[in-house]
Amino acid sequence: MTDLPTRDQQSLEDCWDLSSLFPSDGAWEEALTEVKGMLPDLTSYRGRLAGGDALTVGGFLRRYFEVLEEMEALGVYAYLRLSEDGGDPDRQRLWNTYLSWSTEFQSALSFVEPELVRLSETVVEELLHREDLADFRIWLEKLLRYRPHILPEEQERILATLAMPRSLARRTFSSLNDVDLTFGTILTPEGERPLTHGTYLWFMEHPDRTLREQAYSRYLEAYKSHQHTISTLYATQVQQDAAEARLRNHPSSLHAALFADNVPVELYTHLITQVETAIPLLHEYWRVRADLLELHPLRLFDTKVPLVKEVEVHYPYERAVNLVAEALSPLGEDYTRTMRDGLLGGWVDRYENRGKRSGAFSYGSYRGAPYILLNYDPRVIRHVFTLAHEAGHSMHSYYSARSNPFPHYQYSIFEAEVASTFNEELLLSYLFSTTEDARLILYLHNRHLDEIIGTYFRQTMFAEFELICHRAAEEGHALTTNFFLETYHALLEKYFGPAVSIEGLDPYECFRIPHFYRSFYVYQYATGITAAVTLSKAVIEGKEGAVEAYLRFLSRGGSSFPLETLREAGVDLLSEDPYQVLHRVFEEHLEALKAGLSRT
């Protein structure tokens, strides 16, 4: 870690250019002061909206969204600055200043939605039909859906004030997981190495089985030693979800979680049902893995080790950008030129430095560039796929922001993983068609199988666990440590089958999943890859109208609900078809991997 450059040692051309948001921290602080000065004007509408006429409400909406747009830019800038070096006090101050003000802002304006949902039908009709207020029409229509679920103003104000305590279970788990839990170091053939969240996958992919088992046991023992604390935190999260659902007049926690995207609860259970039809295929994969590794039975710490070692490559960043652009050329010149110009021209923070956030993400705002954080390593082929993945997110944001007014430009999380995974699918197809390296081809088959398992099967298993836990709470059952362990043990046996022995510490994995504190979130990874595979196959196979349909999907933003947007693009997630397409793709890669390895 000590040989990493500091932030000020990074070349400017390798760093993102945040000037599309603010030219400097000083300009950011000036903008924040201006926004603070706008708050009294907005709060002066308290008590005037519910009984107001269209002229009053329209005037408020213009001012309100002007401030929200500025707030978004302020928040994105502060977060991106913190991501550059989380240990820098000035960057910490910037982010904490924004968080403090954002909480005050939300509390002060907690009257807005309760008043707007009480507008008379006459005023609503006038608002929805006035051309000078057309930019707010879709946002207002979506808000009015919440009429049965928004509480009186005083209760909403109390809930807004209690935002921090209401997130206590999530924040406590995050502190325990990210700060307090330590796993020590492990002696490896490469020398002493710390076991952390960041290095855990490296250990699980190590060819030395003894080393894998040692790291796996050390890692889960830490969670076992805090099992009762963590089970209390998760039980609190589940019970809070149930209480808030009842408070807001939703039939269940699941209904409440899916309401914003107008997703029927039937889709959630439909996903689980469709995945269950492919579990025999998944079990076949585990059997093949066991045979190839000559391990009978497998253990969970054997399920990540690559069947094909990662091929040595050298893709300098600029070459990787060109490769991704070539792979995405079916989408047309406008898409690839815009993407290439952005990836080479200030959208991306490319390389690791001390204090920089790990991993990768795409994050932007309506008026700024769709920025990307990477920790790019030219020797790792997975990092080329990460570049394609995050570019997919950023191009989705680019098209959405340029095709919609601010109030409804943001696409949903449900749709977010579609564009990113779509890009990976086109990159994979391009590499298969252009490489003659048999080892790389086998590696790519292996990698794609693991991606489908991790994104589709595993996330659905997590989703099923969440559903069982929430239903149990809503039926009055006690959510004890043993309940969580027994439920998770049964799901591990269901998804891994007879080729994998589930024993010992394995069920304690349920206590290490951060996404469980964002309830009913993970299922969207599974639906995302399902939709992306169908859409990408249509483009790869040259289906008439497929490119145009996909680009329309990118441009829809939040102008309609996600199932409708995807249906227009050619994917009906309430049918069986897209799931069957994904299952066939999984089977094809499995057969290709088996055939290829049998020849080596």
**Which residues are known catalytic residues?**
390
Q: Which two structure tokens, joined as six digits, stand for 436?
A: 């003659």
Question: According to the 3-state scheme, what is the secondary structure of 384-412?
Answer: HHHHHHHHHHHHHHHHHHHHCCHHHCCCC
- The H or E element containing residue 2 is none
Give the tokens for residue 345. Answer: 């021209």
Short-list 235, 217, 219, CA closest to 177: 219
Please list the residues that pair with 192 across neighbouring strands: 187
Edge-to-edge strands, sheet with 348-349:
348-349, 371-373, 361-363
- Residue type (1 letter), 537: K
The 3-state secondary structure of 344-373 reads HCCCEECCCCCCCCCCCEEECCCCCCCEEE
Kindly state the tokens that stand for 91: 């960057």
Judged on CB neighbours under 10 Å (0-12, 13-18, 19+), 251 is: exposed
**Do 172 and 237 meet the contact criterion of CB atoms below 8 Å apart?**
no
263 touches 213 (CB < 8 A): no
- Terminal Cα distance for the chain, rounded: 38
Radius of gyration of the chain (CA): 25
Structure tokens at 424: 């990976």
Cα–Cα distance measured from residue 586 to residue 527, given in angstroms and rounded to the nearest whole number: 15
Cα–Cα distance between 352 and 1 in angstroms, integer?
10
Q: Which amino acid is at 590?
A: L
Contacts of 210 (CB under 8 A, 6+ apart): none
